[in-house]
A and B are shown apart, each in its own frame.
Chain A
């Protein structure tokens, strides 16, 4: 109930903040603009609209996850709102989990609105939907769960500026895991291979959540893979939140 109270308050605060509406407006504008871009290209009209729509959902979802996530806990300490909350009978892990779930609810609502906008766009342009579109959006959401957990982990002990750098860094590296894996198996530079393989193992493989190309081309859904990717994302989320909780548990609120 306490986690729920914090999550609902975080959600309420987020949806009443006008910044999110600005981001949402740009996301919907980008989805709408995809028709114009598709018009300018030769062939594969539907594929381009689907691809750009999914990219917009991914990009704006990531922006919200990172830029709201990095300040989520830090702002509470900086503005001292945490003083009165942490003096109540609530464990610190409950606070952190509540903040996380509140942001996840916000992201869920944003992704939902963007998805509806996207589907309307597909209908209006006649680009047509494919069976893998919703699973692709679901995996974008799972990716956001992981990135939000990364952001909140850094937010629990460092400044928003550093959190943004670290989270962006991990997001970029996490999407380049295929290249990292190749590099770690290259066989001609042992030092570089060691570093690449270390990073590969330490960073969540965000490319796992990317089935956008399959969805845009309308290939059949591999439900087993969607299940695996969801499990992988939830496991990473749990690990990141657990680390965040341990860090947060022993810190002073200055």
Chain B
């Protein structure tokens, strides 16, 4: 039995708002298990309940029903928070603190000694490429820089579990890569990661398992390999110097002609691809690339959401 780090059973959240006390169910009886050492992707459209789940797990909001455990203790347990890291979506921090003071402050909240804080800050600032901004006040930071110090505060206590809520939201490619690399490094160290994200290519490339949530209900939990499938749907072959005569001989159509003169042809499977490549090389063309196309998490997610949308519309009729 794998070690369970997060376990929820029938976890519910009902929001009540306004003078007339309108009720909105943010989460319908969530049953979820996340195992030690895995990277768990949590995906769903906007307003599906991802942030609600995370807020309940972090003890920021109180559940309306059901139960949950984090690292073996009921959610909201103060002692467990010593081992948690959390980076919320679009984080804001105190404007007038410098990066150094900011990290010291968060280290103090974990009860770390000054020596421990100094050591950890010296380790973390270079890791998030912020050593040059150490003495700059946070109000002068760009969004990406705030996200980087936010990442550092989430790791200051060497957590056993780190929860990221849309960590790459609004980040440039370098920032996204930093987040991705940090998550993979955490996994290598044995840290469990829960990653809520809209960037499905990232989720697909780094997560072990994925939970899909829509309308406050968990729709599916599966390994990424199960969801995206191993079967190749098509293969794209790019050639250079393919003459009209050769194209006619290959019998894969005209494909797509690039401005560089290269041509990309698409065939339905790997066998056809091997056959075509051999013939193309024999015919004097130069092979540039062969790219097998599989169903991506993104296309699977869009299909799943479309199906849910359709069935809910039918149910309403």
Task: Kindly report which residue of chain A lies nearest to residue B108, judged by CB atoms.
Answer: A5
Q: Which of B51-81 contact A (CB under 8 A)?
A: 55, 58-62, 78-81
Q: Which residues of B come within 8 Å of A, CB atoms?
A: 15, 55, 58-62, 78-82, 84, 86-88, 90-97, 101, 105-106, 108-111, 137, 150, 153-154
Instruction: Other than A2-B108, A87-B84, give 19 A-B pairs with Cβ distance below 8 A.
Output: A4-B108, A6-B109, A9-B97, A12-B96, A13-B95, A13-B97, A80-B91, A80-B92, A83-B88, A84-B106, A84-B154, A86-B59, A87-B60, A87-B86, A88-B106, A89-B79, A89-B81, A253-B55, A253-B61
> Is A252 in contact with chain B by the CB < 8 A criterion?
yes
Q: Which residues of A come within 8 Å of B, CB atoms?
A: 1-2, 4-6, 9, 12-13, 16-17, 79-91, 250, 252-254
Residue of A9, A13, A79, A81 contacting most chain B CB atoms (<10 Å):
A9
Task: Kindly report which residue of chain B lies nearest to residue A86, judged by CB atoms.
Answer: B60
Pairs A-B, 9 closest by C-beta atoms: A5-B108, A16-B96, A88-B109, A89-B81, A252-B61, A87-B86, A83-B88, A79-B92, A87-B58
Contact of A80 with B78 in the complex, beta carbons under 8 Å: no
> From residue B9, how far is it (CB to closest CB) to chain A in Å?
21
Contact of B88 with A84 in the complex, beta carbons under 8 Å: yes
> From residue A82, how far is it (CB to closest CB) to chain B in Å?
8
Contact of A84 with B62 in the complex, beta carbons under 8 Å: no
Contacts of B86 in A (CB 8 A): 83-84, 87
Contacts of B59 in A (CB 8 A): 86-87
Selected contact of B62 from candidates A4, A12, A252, CB within 8 Å: A252
> From residue A81, how far is it (CB to closest CB) to chain B in Å?
5
Contact of B92 with A89 in the complex, beta carbons under 8 Å: no
Give A9 to B61 CA distance when docked, in angstroms: 24
Contact of B108 with A1 in the complex, beta carbons under 8 Å: yes
The 13 listed contacts between A and B (C-beta, < 8 Å) are A5-B105, A5-B108, A5-B109, A9-B101, A12-B97, A16-B96, A80-B88, A80-B91, A81-B94, A82-B60, A83-B60, A84-B87, A88-B81
